[in-house]
Structure 1
């Protein structure tokens, strides 16, 4: 999110916001035709991020799908995941071969996941079982 906002802030500050918007329109149109020129069109952004950045693995907090899509529009894939410290720390992760925008992906092979008491939208408590899940806290049951 921070990188995405910084890209737009820099474009606006330098008077290149409209050029960036135009580049996105052209790039998205070409992608619909099966032509991917994102890394060429946005090479300045890519170069400012080190020149070789292809993906960012993200976790720790919810990432709005608009930032995930925004970075993907520049040619940088966001691999989103979910985890907590008690699970050492990864539970799920999106995969390049099974990528879904806005998702935290599928369970890692070491984990079993169950949604306890899901509501009509499938939202409920996430229960995780696996060798990476801690047994308990020190001096607590």
Structure 2
């Protein structure tokens, strides 16, 4: 027999989430990636406020913890090395569990280096939620883990880099959509659920995801690129939120081989787009292969529309931008 107390919060505002860790001595917590990112921002802000000697000591402890736990987490050791950090989380946290949307690898690495592993997975409603889970053996920030017991995954029509559509088969997969036989026939083929997500398996059996099939862009040179993949290059950019779009997706204009990518930015309240931010965007962009680089940026004044699991509603955002702005709003890089 075993059991646990389950705590439900009425709000996911960061200050209430932080308070819950201490008040209820949370051991495991399930959060959407956006809330995990907000916790990271709060911690980084607190670290930046430390006197220089304390920050130097903290950095040394983090580096030591990273070295000693590089293959597998060791919570007891991490609590000894970074006791103040763990005390701020109630002193009992074993892992953060996240899913439902993309989480930046750097965010996962940030918490892992503090001795608080972030366990991410992959799934969808049609498959009874979870299909894969990162088992931390070893920790991998760039994957969504391995298939769960009883789950079969395969990659359909992989390209030269092994990327193709993820298909799933399991007893947890739905039998059909209610009152929609046509969609059922499109989605379940020969017992396999076509997820619409693009991914590949790496040598260790971990699944890597690259984006939605419907979002894939084919370049003039025949290269397949995915907005979600390009967005990782701007991971940690000091803005409220951002997203990458093909210009022709926002403002349809069929010109073969003339596609261009743009970075849509939502700044923090009272934040100004200055030369420093421009240089950081340009530097990150230069590190991308030529065919993946964004050609310009656009400043958007509203919060991005999101789903209940905090995924960006790309189509809704594109439609809002198209209604309010023209192509001339994109500033060239």
Fold similarity call, TM over 0.5 = yes
Match of 2:50 among 9, 16, 22: 16
What is the TM-score with the length of structure 1 in the denominator? 0.84
Q: Is residue 44 of structure 1 aligned with residue 89 of structure 2? A: no
What is the TM-score with the length of structure 2 in the denominator? 0.38
**SS of 1:75 mapped into structure 2:** coil
Q: Is residue 125 of structure 1 aligned with residue 159 of structure 2? A: no
By how many angstroms is 1:58 displaced? 1.4
Q: Measure, in 2, the Cα distance between the counterparts of 1:83 and 1:54.
A: 22
Q: Measure, in 2, the Cα distance between the counterparts of 1:88 and 1:29.
A: 40
Q: Provide Cα deviations, 1:92-140, integer angstroms capped at 9, x if missing partner.
A: 0011334323211100112100111122222211100001011221101
Root-mean-square deviation (CA), in Å? 2.3
**SS of 1:104 mapped into structure 2:** coil
Structure with the greater alpha carbon radius of gyration: 2
CA distance 1:101–1:8, change in 2 (3 Å): same
Q: Is residue 69 of structure 1 aligned with residue 103 of structure 2? A: no
**SS of 1:96 mapped into structure 2:** coil
Q: Is residue 7 of structure 1 aligned with residue 43 of structure 2? A: yes
Aligned to 1:105: 145
Query: Aligned residue pairs: how many?
Result: 138
Q: Is residue 27 of structure 1 aligned with residue 57 of structure 2? A: no
Tell me, which stretches of 5 or more residues in structure 2 are unaligned?
Answer: 1-36, 182-333
Q: Measure, in 1, the Cα distance between the counterparts of 2:56 and 2:160.
A: 39
Tell me, which stretches of 5 or more residues in structure 1 are unaligned?
Answer: none
CA distance 1:20–1:67, change in 2 (3 Å): farther
1:51-66 alignment, distance < 5 Å:
51-66=91-106
